[in-house]
Amino acid sequence: MRNRRDDKRRGPDRRTGDRRRSHGSNIDVALLRGMQHIPTWEDQRSQYLTRLLFCGLAVAYFNFGGEAQIRPWASVLLVNVVMSLYAIEILGFMWHAQREPHVPWRQHLTMWIDIAAASFSALADATLSTPAFLVFLMIILGNGMRYGLKSFAEAVIGCFAASIFIVWVRLPDYLAMVSVSAIFFLLFFAIIVLYAYSLTAKIERTRAKLAHERNIDALTGMLNRRALDERVMQLFHSSKVHGREAVVLFADLDGFKNVNDTHGHHVGDRVLVAVAERIREIVRSVDVVARYGGDEFLLILPHTTPEDGEIVARRIRRAVNEWAQANRIDFNVSIGVGHYPAHGCDLESVIAAVDKAMYRSKVELGGGGILHVGCDPVTT
């Protein structure tokens, strides 16, 4: 009966392994990049409040100016309706951001809605030198400085396309006002955008370098404890909101102290690097892997069942043991397997349960076992 279960697991094991290895060894760099431009709820709240401020200024601008401030096809009522809908959209996304801060698509959608609102204001404004063009600059700088070069480029493309459309719609009016000052205004606008782009590039490079130094373990190249806490906070929040499960694996090297004492710390470092590489070859790009302590590794596998989590644990244990035997270094690995939300409502409680399971595995098997929380330890 046991063999049949193992055979059933080996089928998906091979398929899962192929899929997991395909992402290569840059998993932690990819995770780090994913963390760099995700603002906190407090940052996003300031963004949404700034949007509401500009919305209020637009309403005041058109209402105080009256019908004389608005082109014939529009009206004060229409402007108020559009800006009210825009404010409702802002409040809706603000509510959503408070519940789930780390949603990339929301940032892109709100940016394009900002461009649409600014374009409407420019088309409705009877004044050709409309303040809406300054809003375009705010959109470009705000998205670029906060989210990086990709968002900067996306904002530039969107605002440039919107400006071309506005000029095309009002071409006779703009041709009538062509002057040296207008040309230089456009040149200065373009220079500001280009200068901001170069500054954003420098900021992004500096940010990436600092984030790497702060969040990556220098020896293994994995996420360190600090980065793990940030990444897990995002992942567990998303899992809680969407009701998704996750598996936590806690791997601890058995006999590692003897390796250092017998072979020296340089061999111990080599062991840690080798274990990290074996883990990278097995996990997916969406999995979170970190060096949790001296000889401890923590893996969080989102959207994973306990059965699939055990498959991953077996693969890691087998790969580590094969490397140890090939290099004639006497050590082993114990792995505890926990499940969210079955074994805790947050990372700390799940890790505590897994840590107890791993300790039990060491006591009952002498190390080198795999143990699910609440189950008997196994060595296969």
Q: Which residues are within 8 A (CB) of 126 and not within 5 positions of it... i.e. 6 or more apart?
A: 68, 69, 70, 71
Task: Specify if 21 maps to a domain.
Answer: no
Query: In this structure, are 171 and 274 located in the same domain?
Result: no
- pLDDT one-digit tens code per residue, 295-344: 889 898 888 888 898 899 999 999 999 999 999 998 988 888 888 777 77
Residue-level pLDDT at 23: 38
Residue 255 in any domain: the answer is yes
**Contact status, residue 304 vs residue 247, Cβ threshold 8 Å:** yes
Pick the last residue of a domain from 198, 214, 230: 214
Residues 206 and 65 in one domain: yes
Residue 23: inside a domain, yes or no? no
- 214, 239, 274 — which closes off a domain? 214
Rounded to the nearest angstrom, the gap between the alpha carbon of residue 188 and the centroid of all alpha carbons in its chain is 35
Strand duo 246-254 + 296-302: pairing = antiparallel
Contact 222, 289 (CB under 8 A): yes
User: Residue 163 domain-assigned?
Assistant: yes
CA 356 to chain centre: 31
Alpha carbon 1 to its chain's center: 43
Is 1 within a domain?
Answer: no
Question: Can you tell me the mean pLDDT for 27-40?
Answer: 50
- The answer as to whether 20 is a domain residue is no
Single out the residue of 116, 110, 200 nearest to residue 150, CA to CA. Answer: 200
321/266 same-domain check: yes
Kindly report the backbone phi and psi dihedral angles of residue 338, in degrees, each rounded to the nearest multiple of 5, phi listed first: -125, 165
Same domain (yes/no): 270, 354: yes
The 10s digit of each residue's pLDDT in 73-84 is: 899 999 999 999
Q: In what order do the strands lie in the sheet with 332-340?
A: 288-291, 296-302, 246-254, 332-340, 370-372
Model-wide pTM > 0.75: no
Residues 316 and 283 both lie in one domain: yes
Do 185 and 87 lie in one domain? The reply is yes
pLDDT tens, residue by residue, 249-293? 988 898 888 898 888 999 999 999 999 999 999 998 888 889 988
Are the CB atoms for 146 and 104 separated by under 8 Å?
A: no
Do residue 344 and residue 275 come from a single domain? Answer: yes
Residue 234 included in any domain: yes
Percentage of the chain modeled with pLDDT above 90: 27
Residues 195, 278, single domain; the answer is no
100, part of any domain: yes
Q: pLDDT tens, 187-212?
A: 887 888 888 888 888 888 887 777 77
Residues 258 and 329 in one domain: yes
pLDDT of residue 26: 44
What phi-psi label fits residue 103: left (phi over 0), alpha (psi between -120 and 50 degrees) or beta? beta
What's the chain's length in residues? 380
Q: What is the CA radius of gyration of the chain?
A: 28
Higher pLDDT, 185 or 112: 112
On the CB side of 93, how many CA atoms lie within 13 Å of its CA?
25
Query: For the domain that residue 323 is a member of, what is the CATH number?
Result: 3.30.70.270
pLDDT value of position 37: 54
Nearest partner of 159 among 192, 127, 184, 181, judged by Cα: 192
Residue 86 and residue 117 in contact, taking contact as beta carbons nearer than 8 Å: yes
Task: Identify whether residues 68 and 109 lie together within a single domain.
Answer: yes
pLDDT tens digits for range 219-260: 888 888 878 877 777 666 666 655 677 888 988 898 888 898
Determine contact, residues 90/51, Cβ cutoff 8 Å. Answer: yes
Tokens 């094969």 belong to 322
End-to-end CA distance of the chain: 14
Q: Identify the domain boundary among 161, 186, 214.
A: 214
User: Domain range for residue 288?
Assistant: 221-372
pLDDT greater than 80 at residue 378? no
Q: Could you tell me if 203 and 231 lie in one domain?
A: no
Instruction: Give the 3-state DSSP-derived string for 53-88, with helices as H, strands as E and coil as C.
Output: HHHHHHHHHHHHHHHHHECCCCCHHHHHHHHHHHHH
Tell me the residue ranges of DSSP E strands in the chain.
Answer: 246-254, 288-291, 296-302, 332-340, 370-372
Min mean pLDDT across 25-39, 136-150, 198-212 is at 25-39
The verdict on 179 and 231 lying in the same domain is no
Number of domains composing the chain:
2
**pLDDT digit string, tens, across residues 348-367:** 777 788 777 777 766 666 66
For 237, the token pair is: 């929040």
